Every structure is written in C-alpha cells, then in structure tokens.
Amino acid sequence: MNAIDELLQGYGRFRAGYYPQKQELFDRLSREGQSPRVAMVACCDSRVDPAIILDCSPGEMFVIRNVANLVPPYEQAGTYHGTSAALEFAVLDLQVEHVVIMGHAYCGGIRSLITTEPAPGRQREFIGPWMDIARDACKVAFDRARADAAHPARECEQAGVRASLDNLRTFPWVRDREAEGRLQLHGWYFDLDQGELLALDAETDRFEVIEAPIPESLERHAL
Ligand SMILES: [Zn+2]
C-alpha cells in the first residue's frame, strides 16, 4: 500500500471512530473557538508527536513544531519568524498559562551540530543557519560531556532546551508575564528508549524523570 493510502486508512478510522466519539467536543470547538492553556514547542521528528505522548484531545494544546524544537531569540528584523509568530499568538491572543519546550533523544538537528559524519541537516541550505540558535550551547555541553565521558548527544539535546528557554525569556511579553506569575515556562525531554518524559528542575538545572500518574481506569482495576 502506498504511503498516502495508509494515511487514508487512518482517516477512515478517524471518521468512523474518533470523530463521532468526540462529536460534542468538535461542535464546541467549532462554536467557541480554541482556548488551549498550554503551548508546546516540539521537534518535527515523526517519532515524537506531543499529542500522542500526552494523549491530548483536540483543543488542549497549541503545538509549534520546528527542527530541533528551538526558540530563536527575540528579533525585530522584518523577516519570516514562524516560531516567534506562533508564540506571539499563543501568549498574547490565546493567553496560554504554560509554554513547554520538549526536546527528545536521537534529534537529527542536534546531531548535525555535533558530528563530523554525514547526518541529516549537515550542509543543508536552511537547517545550518537555523541550528545556529543552539550551536554555542551545544558546543559547551558537548565539550563538557566528553570530558565527563557522559552521553554527549543527550547533553546537547538538553542544552538545546535550556538555550530555547533562555531565548523565550528575551521576548518582552514572555518575560513580563512570567514575572507577573501569569505564565510558566517548562523544559521537557522525551526519552525514546524508555518512553519516559523528563522535566528540567530549575533548582538543580538537571532533567529528572516525571512520575507518570496512574490512569484512573487502571486505578479502578487495581482496587
Ligand atoms: Zn529532533
């Protein structure tokens, strides 16, 4: 079966199952518009779909996906700022309460910064300049990781999340809302090997595994 036909099989399941089950929700979202409380910056990587990892319903999360889940610094130059425009809409118009940057293991964008071997994105026309956002932070993390014999790629992927959080705080309307307690910023990391989410601890500056709450349906089973 060709790839589009496979997708359309999925669309058939959505039409027959998901959509009618969620009809009321879709009706309400059509009528009232969206009002997500969380904006998520995630990577384009096909393995790390935030809505699947977090089992979200439509309307729950405003998702911005780009190469290596990066946030550029605040810039006023009149060029094409896709990620900044989406963040502006999420923060100023939707007035989300949280912005989450979600990095992940085996990120090809980050790998292009730290390997001399052929990697997706190396020597590409647009990816290289885009990845400059995380280049310095990755270099520092890579050198430190090599000295400590830790896993360099993971250190660099997590450094990219920290750099994006720093850049988020260069946007005046993010900085102001965070200071007023109206907006919280989070750094997360999805570990593909374990299927685990980690969160950046602001005090230790380390990523720690998030304890997954037991789903209510399973809790009832256990009782
Ligand atoms: Zn990635």
Distance of CA 94 from the midpoint of ligand 1 (Å): 26
- Provide DSSP, 142-155: HHHHHHHT--HHHH
* Residue 45 annotated as binding site: yes
Whether residue 87 contacts residue 39, with contact meaning beta carbons closer than 8 Å, is answered with yes
Helix (H) or strand (E) holding 121: none
* Residue 151 annotated as binding site: no
Residue 221's pLDDT is: 59
Domain 38-222 belongs in CATH node 3.40.1050.10: yes
- pLDDT one-digit tens code per residue, 171-212: 999 999 999 999 999 999 999 999 999 999 999 999 999 999
Query: Domain extents for the chain?
Result: 1-33, 38-222
Percentage of the residues of the chain whose pLDDT score is greater than 90? 82
Look up residue 172 and give its amino acid.
P
* Residue 43 annotated as binding site: yes
Label residue 119 by pLDDT band (50, 70, 90): low
Distance of CA 70 from the midpoint of ligand 1 (Å): 9
- pLDDT one-digit tens code per residue, 131-179: 999 999 999 999 988 877 678 899 999 999 999 999 999 999 999 999 9
Distance of CA 108 from the midpoint of ligand 1 (Å): 5
Instruction: Phi first, then psi: give them for residue 173, nearest 5 degrees.
Output: -75, -20
**Three-point CA angle 103, 169, 171, nearest 5°:** 115
Distance of CA 180 from the midpoint of ligand 1 (Å): 32
* Residue 81 annotated as binding site: no
Backbone region of residue 205 per phi and psi (left: phi > 0; alpha: psi in -120 to 50; beta: other values)? left
DSSP lists the bridge partners of residue 62 as: 39
| Lowest-confidence pick of 36-40, 51-55, 120-124, 147-151 | 120-124
Task: Give dist(CA 183, CA 174) in Å, integer.
Answer: 7
Residues with CB under 5 A from ligand 1 (ion): 43, 45, 107
Distance of CA 216 from the midpoint of ligand 1 (Å): 32
Distance of CA 64 from the midpoint of ligand 1 (Å): 13
- Whether 120 has a pLDDT exceeding 70, the answer reads no
Residue 23's pLDDT is: 97
Give the pair of three-digit tokens for residue 31: 């009528």
